[in-house]
Chains A and B, each alone.
Chain A
Amino acid sequence: MSPSLLEYQSALSSKDVWTTEPVQAVPSASKVLIPLPGGISVLVEGTPPRWLAPCVESLTSVSTLPPNWDSYGSRTIDSRAVYHALILLTQTMGTNSPPPQVVPTSRGRIQLEWHRRGVDLQIEIAPSGRYSAAFERNGGTSEISGIVSQTKELSEFIRAVEG
């Protein structure tokens, strides 16, 4: 993990980072505040990793889906799932990791997907912070689940889609 990402991760785990108040200004040139849906903002210190902007854009996009967006009675996307998805990414992604594709689920959850380098990886994140992941490569499959504060195995999965 690069030093810049460590700083970033540290910032994300601080109470000062997440707020329910809308953010109006950027406090300094080295820090960037990024508003997310649900009145949540994230503070990035130092240089943001390249995957951050597309992820925030995708998470914001799915967060605007109305009720019944799937035409089968779906829920809106839970802002807590968005929050936990971003936390999970900061804990598992490297500076140059490819951004996932962000897929909404009918249960109001977030599913992150990578399909590259012969690997299929998908991680579903619930509002509670629990995740379940499926990793497929060369016909072999691994499935794990846990909470976003314990993601060591997920980091290994994500290394497999880099490069």
Chain B
Amino acid sequence: MPGIEYQDDSSLPDTTVLWRRVHPKWIVEDKSPQGYRLSTAAFDDDPEGGPTSVIIADDVIRAGGSHADALAGHPEHVGCPPFLGPPRSSVLGGL
């Protein structure tokens, strides 16, 4: 959102599992063994150019939920496979 300065939350380790809803139009065909990939457009959701929205999986699980809860109300979407790794460098722009 414009006017908001986002800060890296250092309490979250790099191994934090993040979930994200994916619209089917963001899945594109390629020549990989599985035959598809996620478009980079799937990780750029803010109309004003802000950071990408994700759900912290542990928060959902601790509350007794599951990945299905992240998709609740969005039947046309699919769940992005558990996405962890280096979000700080690849998604958050190297915060």
Contact = CB atoms under 8 A, between A and B. Distances in A.
Interface in B23-72: 23, 25-26, 28-31, 37, 39-41, 44-47, 49, 53
A82 interface: no
Contacts, number: 61
Interface residues of B, number: 21
Given A71-B77, A72-B53, A106-B41, A115 B47 contact: no
A44 B26 CA distance: 30
Interface of A: 62, 65, 69-75, 101, 103-108, 111, 113, 115-116, 118, 120, 122, 124
Contact of A71 (B23, B25, B30, B37): B23
Contacts of A104: 23, 25, 41
Given A111-B39, A115-B31, A103 B45 contact: no
A109 B37 CA distance: 20
B29 A108 contact: no
A101 B25 CA distance: 9
Tell me if A's interface is mostly helix, strand, loop or mixed: loop
Interface of B: 21, 23, 25-26, 28-31, 37, 39-41, 44-47, 49, 53, 73-74, 77
B36 to A, nearest CB: 9
30 contacts: A62-B25, A65-B25, A70-B21, A70-B45, A71-B23, A71-B73, A71-B74, A71-B77, A72-B21, A72-B45, A72-B53, A73-B45, A73-B47, A74-B45, A101-B39, A103-B39, A104-B25, A106-B45, A107-B44, A107-B46, A107-B47, A107-B49, A111-B40, A113-B39, A115-B28, A115-B31, A116-B30, A116-B31, A118-B31, A122-B40
Contacts of B29: 101, 115
A96 B55 CA distance: 43
Nearest to B53: A72
Contacts of A62: 25
